[in-house]
Amino acid sequence: TNEQRALLTIFGASGDLAKRKLYPSLFRLYRKGYLNEHFAVIGTARREWTQETFQEIVASSIQALHPTEQELQSFIRHFYYQALNVSEPEQYAALKTLATQLDETYHLAGNQLFYLAMAPQFFGTIAGHLHSENIVTPNGFHRLIIEKPFGSDYHSAEQLNEEIRSVFDEDDIFRIDHYLGKEMVQNISAVRFGNNIFESLWNHKYIDNVQVTLAESLGVEERGGYYDQSGALKDMVQNHILQIVALLAMEAPTVFTDKNIRYEKIKALESIRLYTEQEAQKNFVRGQYAEGKLGAKEFSSYQDEPNVNPRSTTETFVAGKLLIDNFRWKGVPFYIRTGKRLTEKGTRIHIVFKPTPINVFREANAPIDENDTGLRNVLTIYIQPTEGFSLTLNGKTIGGDYQLRPIKLDYRHSSDTLDNTPEAYEKLLLDALKGDATNFTHWDEVAQSWRIVDIIRQAWDSQPEVDFPNYASGTMGPDAAFELLERDGFQWVWQP
C-alpha cells in the first residue's frame, strides 16, 4: 500500500497556515489513503486548548472539502493537542510522553515529522530542544519541515542553518517553498526535458530573453507588520522567483532525482551574475503602491494599510534583470517582476525566441525592429490561476500578400483537471513523508539566493531617499519597470 506511517508534530497548530493549508492537505492525503490507520498528529501552540477544541478547529478547517460524518470523525480522532511554550525546555517532557504513547498506539515505527509553522526566530530553539529533551530518538526517521522566511539575509540564514544542522542532517531538512509544489512549476522540467523541440533550442543561440512575472492583485491585507519589515524582494524574489529561474536555467539532470536536480539548480544559481551595487541600481527597480482603482473597487495606498509605517520605504514591487554567466545563457536577460496590487493575479513565464535571421517577407510587413527581422515566437507557461501552455507561431493572413500574423496554440487544463490538482502543500507533505526532497530547497540554494538578493538590498539601502509611492494600485508597476526592457529593445510580453 501507499500508506505512510508517521507522527506529525505541528508547531504553530493554532496559526493561519495550519488551518488554511495543513489540515486540509492532511485530510486530502487521508482520503487518498496515503494516511490511514498509522498516523497521528500532535498540534502544539502556547494557548491551553483541550483536545476537543483542537479537533473542532481541525474539523472546521476541512469543511470546504465536504467530509462525510464518518470520514470526519475517523480523521479527527488522529489529532492530539499539547500546549507548549517552545522556549521552556521543561515543557517538552509532556510532548515526549505523548509522542512515545502515540508511537505505540498507532505503530508508527518511530517515524517523526516536525513541522515548524511559526515565527522563524524560534526555529533554532525548537530544533535544539527536540534534541536535548530526547524527542529525536534513534528509531525511524526524523525529518524537519520549515516554512519561510529562512533568515532575513545571508548571515542570519547561515546562523539559523547552523542551529538546525546541529540536530538534523541536511537530508532530513525539508525547506518549504510552496511554489515548488505547484503543478505548473513542476511542469517547467516536463516541458524542457520531455520535448526535444524546446530543449534543443533552450539556449542563447535561439532565446532572446526570458520573462518571469508573479503578479498579485491583493495588497498586504492583514500582514502589514511582517511585510513592512520584509518587502517584495525578500518575500518573493529570494525564494519563489529565484527557484523558478533556477528551474528554467539549469542543465538537464542525468536522471530526475532530488540529488541530481539540486546539483543542477545550485550550479544555475551560482552562475547568476553577482552585481556591483552600481549595477544593481541600474538593473533593479523597486516600487510601492499608491491608491488606485481596479474596476469599481478603490484601494488605499500601501502607507495607509494597517500596521504599516505611514512613511514606509518598503517596496511592494520589484522588477529586475538577471544575467547568467555560463555557456548556455551568455547574454540572455532573465527579466523578473513581482508586486502587490497589480492589475490581476497571475504567474506566467515567457520564453521569447529570437526572430529569423532575415525577414524575407519585409515587402509586405513593416519592419519590426531596426534589424528588420520577423516576429518572435513566444512560449508561455501559465502557472496560475489558469494552468497551461501557449506557443505563438507566425502564419500569414488569409488573402493576398504575405502579411505575417501571430497564431497562438493554446492549451489550458480543463476545470475538471484543476479540481483534481493536488494542492501545493498536499504534495509537499506527501513528499516529505516519503523522504523525497526534489521540490524542497537545499541550503546551498538558499545561501546563494541570499547572496544575490543581499547586494540588491544593500544597493537600495545606500539610497534611502525614494520617491514612494510610485505606481497606482491596479497597474503593472512603475514606469521604470517598462523602461528596464525598452532599454534593451524588448518589452514585457504580458501587459494586461
Binding residues for substrate: 178, 182, 216, 235, 340, 345
Joined together, the cell numbers standing for residue 205 give: 543561440
Q: Which is nearer to ligand BG6, 238 or 380 (CB)?
A: 238
Q: Kindly report whether the peptide bond that precedes residue 149 is cis, defined as omega within 30 degrees of 0.
A: yes
Q: Does 172 bind ligand BG6 (CB under 6 A)?
A: no
Q: For ligand BG6, what does the binding mask look like between residues 233 and 272, x meaning CB under 6 A?
A: --x-------------------------------------
Q: Minimum distance between the CB of residue 318 and ligand BG6, rounded to whole angstroms?
A: 12
**Residue the block writes with cell 484543476:** 418
Helix axes 443-461, 242-249, angle to 10 degrees: 120
Type and span of the H or E element at 420: helix 415-420
Q: Which is nearer to ligand BG6, 216 or 264 (CB)?
A: 216
Q: Is 196 buried (19+), middle (13-18) or exposed (0-12) by CB count in 10 A?
A: exposed
Helix axes 443-461, 258-271, angle to 10 degrees: 20
Q: Which is nearer to ligand BG6, 178 or 337 (CB)?
A: 178
**Torsions phi, psi of 57, nearest 5?**
-60, -45
**What residue number has its CB nearest to ligand BG6?**
235
Q: Which is nearer to ligand BG6, 178 or 442 (CB)?
A: 178
Q: Which is nearer to ligand BG6, 103 or 426 (CB)?
A: 426
Joined together, the cell numbers standing for residue 117 give: 509553522
Asked if 350 is an active-site residue, the reply is: no
Q: Minimum distance between the CB of residue 424 and ligand BG6, rounded to whole angstroms?
A: 7
**Starting at the edge strand that comes first in sequence, how are the strands of the sheet with 112-116 ordered?**
79-83, 39-45, 6-11, 112-116, 142-146, 173-175
**Residue the block writes with cell 544575490:** 452
Q: Which is nearer to ligand BG6, 129 or 178 (CB)?
A: 178
**Residue the block writes with cell 522563524:** 120
Strand segments, DSSP code E, in 103-159 are 112-116, 142-146
Q: Minimum distance between the CB of residue 219 and ligand BG6, rounded to whole angstroms?
A: 10
**Residue the block writes with cell 538558499:** 446
Scanning residues 104 to 163, which ones bind ligand BG6 (CB under 6 A)?
Answer: none
Q: Minimum distance between the CB of residue 216 and ligand BG6, rounded to whole angstroms?
A: 6
Q: Minimum distance between the CB of residue 140 and ligand BG6, rounded to whole angstroms?
A: 31
Binding residues for NADP(+): 12-19, 46, 148
**Torsions phi, psi of 60, nearest 5?**
-70, -25
Q: Minimum distance between the CB of residue 235 and ligand BG6, rounded to whole angstroms?
A: 5
Q: Minimum distance between the CB of residue 179 and ligand BG6, rounded to whole angstroms?
A: 7
Binding residues: 12-19, 46, 148, 178, 182, 216, 235, 340, 345
Scanning residues 198 to 237, which ones bind ligand BG6 (CB under 6 A)?
Answer: 216, 235
What is the C-alpha separation between 320 and 337, in angstroms, rounded? 6
The residue type found at 403 is Q
**Torsions phi, psi of 50, nearest 5?**
-85, 165
Query: Site size for ligand BG6, by CB under 6 A?
Result: 3
Joined together, the cell numbers standing for residue 170 give: 541536511
CB–CB of 144/116 below 8 Å? yes
What is the C-alpha separation between 12 and 210, in angstroms, rounded? 39
Q: Which is nearer to ligand BG6, 355 or 469 (CB)?
A: 469
Q: Active-site residue among 240, 350, 413, 442?
A: 240
**Binding-site ranges for ligand BG6 (CB under 6 A):** 178, 216, 235
Catalytic residues: 240
